Structure 1
Amino acid sequence: MTSIQIIEKDGQPAFAVVPIEIWERVRVLVEDLDDVATFDAALSAHDEFRIPFAVVKAEFEEGLHPVRASREHRRLTQDRLAQRARISKAYLSQIEGGKRAGSTATLRKLAGALQVPAGVLLER
């Protein structure tokens, strides 16, 4: 049987002192619960745009430009995105290929057409 010491404060149990071998087993569970609570709180408090994992993966693993990664994720052709953003397909191609940076105004148009916050494209 394991001996657990109870320490009282004002006549009520306030602390439990447990042997270290029990604490080592319980500590992992407590940390896991703490992580879950932190994650749940972050999700419930976060109401901003989230970049889909497929887009992040395309950018960082495949090296795609954020415009192209978002466009492909939305299954849009360059023609269709250029039409939506009211820019030329050639200009879009140059932006996606890294040959041109794209003006702030153009990146804002592309963000609107892709339905992403402009900062997702401008922060690059």
Structure 2
Amino acid sequence: MNDIQFIEHNGKRAFAVIPINLFERMAAAFEDLNDIALYDATKAADDGFCFPGAVLHAIIDGVHPVTAWRNYRGLSLEELTTIAGIHPTLLLQIENGTENGSTATLQTIAQALNIAVENLQE
């Protein structure tokens, strides 16, 4: 066993001096425990929604989020406008960035794409 030295203060153990090899093993174990706790917390907070890599990469490359999601869902511009009940010109303007779209319009598009409206924000 490793030799541990104790330092007392007012007659009570106040500090422990441990060999470096024991300290390094303990530090690694604590880091593992922190990683496990972080993983558990993240897993518990998971709402089940995953942001697809194809959508994320498209948005990072400068594609409008509506276009990225529409392409990911395999919908043409015409198909999305039909499902969402909006005019094709409006959708084209939103995807091109010349029109922001009202909150109601974006909500309609999000519902048609089966995502939260927050996922359409640039």
Same fold (TM over 0.5): yes
Q: Which amino acid is the alignment partner of residue 43 of structure 2? A: L
1:35 is matched with which residue?
Answer: 35
1:86-97 alignment runs, 5 A limit: 86-97=85-96
Query: Residues 4 and 57 of structure 1: is their aligned pair in 2 closer, same or farther, counting only changes over 3 Å?
Result: farther
Q: Distance in 2 between matches of 1:118 and 1:103?
A: 11
Task: Count residues with an aligned counterpart.
Answer: 114
Q: Deviations over 1:12-62 (max 9, x none)?
A: xxxx864223322442343133123212222223326442232222112x1
| TM superposition shift of 1:101 | 0.9
Deviation at 1:107, TM superposition (A): 0.4
Question: TM-score by structure 2 length?
Answer: 0.75
Instruction: Please identify the structure whose Cα radius of gyration is greater.
Output: 2
Do the aligned partners of residues 40 and 20 (structure 1) sit closer, same or farther apart at CA in structure 2, a change above 3 Å counting? Answer: same
2:59 is matched by which residue type in structure 1?
Answer: E
Q: Distance in 1 between matches of 2:32 and 2:92?
A: 46
Partner of 1:21: 21
Distance (whole Å) between structure 2 residues aligned to residue 36 and residue 100 of structure 1: 45
- Alpha carbon RMSD of aligned pairs, Å? 2.6
Of residues 72-81 and 20-29 in structure 1, the stretch that sits farther from structure 2 once superposed is 20-29
Deviations 1:61-104 (A, max 9, x none): x1111111111111211111111111122221111111111111
Residues 36 and 95 from structure 1, CA distance in 2 versus in 1: closer, same or farther, beyond 3 angstroms?
A: same
* Contact 1:3–1:18 (Cα < 8 Å) also in 2: yes
CA displacement at 1:5 relative to structure 2: 6.3
Name structure 2 gaps, 5 residues minimum: 7-15
Aligned equivalents of 2:57 and 2:17: distance in 1? 47
What residue ranges of structure 1 are gaps of 5+ in the alignment?
A: 7-15
